[in-house]
Amino acid sequence: MVSRCCPLLFSALKRTARNLVGAALLTTAASSSSKPSSSAMDADLQTLTTRLCIVGSGPAAHTAAIYAARAELKPILFEGWMANDIAPGGQLTTTSDVENFPGFPDGIGGLDLTDKFRAQSLRFGTQIFTETVSKVDFSSFPFKLFADSKTVLADSVIIATGAVARRLTFPGSDTFWNRGISACAVCDGAAPIFRDKPLAVIGGGDSAMEEATFLTKYGSKVYIIHRRNEFRASKIMQHRAVSNPKIEVLWNSVVAEAYGERSLEGLKVKDVKSGSVLDLKVSGLFFAIGHEPATKFLDGQLELDSDGYVVTKPGTTQTSVKGVFAAGDVQDKKYRQAITAAGSGCMAALDAEHFLQEIGSQEGKSE
């Protein structure tokens, strides 16, 4: 089976190559136009200072960066290095076509869209580092952020670290992980072991619909296993899936066990209403059961809700710490769309700009 990380690693490597080009362009642009702060120019410094540090690399982080850079805040952005197993660019790097982002009437590939976000951030002077922020200290001012080889002192911070796909645990789930079980149909679905074989997807949201529909290109049949008797997916996505002749839905069903010899050969699927157990012969199982917000690295320094999402003041992106803002899926468990993430990224940049004006932060002040 193609490991889940391979296509992601490939896209991460592709991005790293682009980073080098981007950094070169940035340095060239900087030397020929207005002089940037020394902190933003010298990538070798271990401690950098900035008026705004953005953590994340999806639509929220890059929209915030575009607005902040155009407002001449010279933001530093940490895009992560396979942070939470996702390539720089975020969740959209794991999907094929994005058909609901305005401006692309024919749709656009997820990876292409994230490349465009990144290019636009760079164009206006955002300094991007391909490192993961592992620790923060928001207890004193300026705020401190710690990455692999850099510490940043920032007058304001935007957290836009998004969310991560969830996995289920049952007998066999670990044994057959990457040997038939995956959490990314788009990454792994084309692997030879799935070709012309029956496959299954667990979930009832848009991801499950999208992944099941996608898998019909490769599998002989695709079962959607859902724990309830109705989907939460949008009507159009539901319709697309259930009207596909290769897809069959197993309602009120949960996976009790995965079995096989060297790779996955089947599942014991339990009907939660009747208690009966079905022996489902499948060679692939894909989790599409939602996401967890990427907030562990915050280590309790911001108020989180019971599901681990950053709490923001309604109508703003302000978190429990003044000067620290949050945008995108890391603070949104309801809408979770690229466009809503981008919208809140814009809000976070404007909120940060107002905060910096309020405290009288100026270029060079914190250097």
Residues with catalytic function: 184, 187-188
Asked if residue 46 lies in contact with residue 97, where contact means CB atoms within 8 angstroms, the answer is no
The entry of ligand FAD, ligand NDP, none that residue 132 binds, CB within 5 to 8 Å by partner kind: ligand FAD
The entry of ligand FAD, ligand NDP, none that residue 283 binds, CB within 5 to 8 Å by partner kind: none
Considering the rule CB under 6 A, would residue 69 count as an interface residue with ligand FAD?
no
Give the chain's end-to-end CA distance (angstroms, integer).
Answer: 50
Distance in angstroms (rounded) separating the CA atoms of residues 145 and 336: 26
Distance in angstroms (rounded) separating the CA atoms of residues 49 and 47: 7
Stretch that binds ligand NDP, among 39-47, 74-82, 214-222, 226-234 (CB under 6 A): 226-234
Considering the rule CB under 6 A, would residue 206 count as an interface residue with ligand NDP?
yes
Q: Return the number of the residue (137 or 257) whose C-beta is nearest ligand NDP.
A: 257
Q: Return the number of the residue (238 or 317) whose C-beta is nearest ligand NDP.
A: 238
Q: Judging by DSSP bridges, how do beta strands 324-326 and 47-55 pair with one another?
A: unpaired
| Chain residue at closest Cβ approach to ligand FAD | 162
The entry of ligand NDP, ligand FAD, none that residue 69 binds, CB within 5 to 8 Å by partner kind: none
Q: Looking at the DSSP assignment, which residues form a beta bridge with residue 156?
A: 52
Considering the rule CB under 6 A, would residue 78 count as an interface residue with ligand FAD?
yes
Smallest gap, in angstroms, from Cβ of residue 42 to ligand FAD?
20
Q: Which residues of 19-43 are buried (b: 16+ CB within 10 A; e: fewer)?
A: beebbeebeeebeeeeebbebbbee
Instruction: Name the residue among 310, 315, 313, 290 with its Cα closest to residue 300.
Output: 310
Q: Return the number of the residue (60 or 111) whose C-beta is nearest ligand FAD.
A: 60
Considering the rule CB under 6 A, would residue 77 count as an interface residue with ligand FAD?
no
Locate 214 and state its tokens: 């996608």
Stretch that binds ligand FAD, among 74-82, 278-286, 303-311, 355-363 (CB under 6 A): 74-82
Considering the rule CB under 6 A, would residue 294 count as an interface residue with ligand FAD?
yes
Stretch that binds ligand NDP, among 66-74, 287-295, 305-313, 356-364 (CB under 6 A): 287-295
Smallest gap, in angstroms, from Cβ of residue 91 to ligand NDP?
8
Q: What residues contact 69, with CB distance under 8 A and at least 6 apart?
A: 75, 121, 124, 125, 126
Q: Looking at the DSSP assignment, which residues form a beta bridge with residue 144?
A: 137, 153
Q: Return the number of the residue (19 or 84) whose C-beta is nearest ligand NDP.
A: 84
Distance in angstroms (rounded) separating the CA atoms of residues 129 and 134: 13
The entry of ligand NDP, ligand FAD, none that residue 48 binds, CB within 5 to 8 Å by partner kind: none
Considering the rule CB under 6 A, would residue 232 count as an interface residue with ligand NDP?
yes
The entry of ligand FAD, ligand NDP, none that residue 52 binds, CB within 5 to 8 Å by partner kind: none
Asked if residue 71 lies in contact with residue 352, where contact means CB atoms within 8 angstroms, the answer is no
Smallest gap, in angstroms, from Cβ of residue 145 to ligand FAD?
9
| Chain residue at closest Cβ approach to ligand NDP | 205
Smallest gap, in angstroms, from Cβ of residue 134 to ligand FAD?
7
Which stretches of the chain bind ligand FAD, using CB under 6 A?
55-61, 78-80, 83-84, 86, 88, 90-92, 94-95, 98, 100-101, 132-133, 160-163, 207, 294, 297, 328-330, 336-339, 341
Q: Which residues bind ligand NDP (CB under 6 A)?
A: 100, 168, 202-208, 210, 227-228, 232, 288-291, 336-337
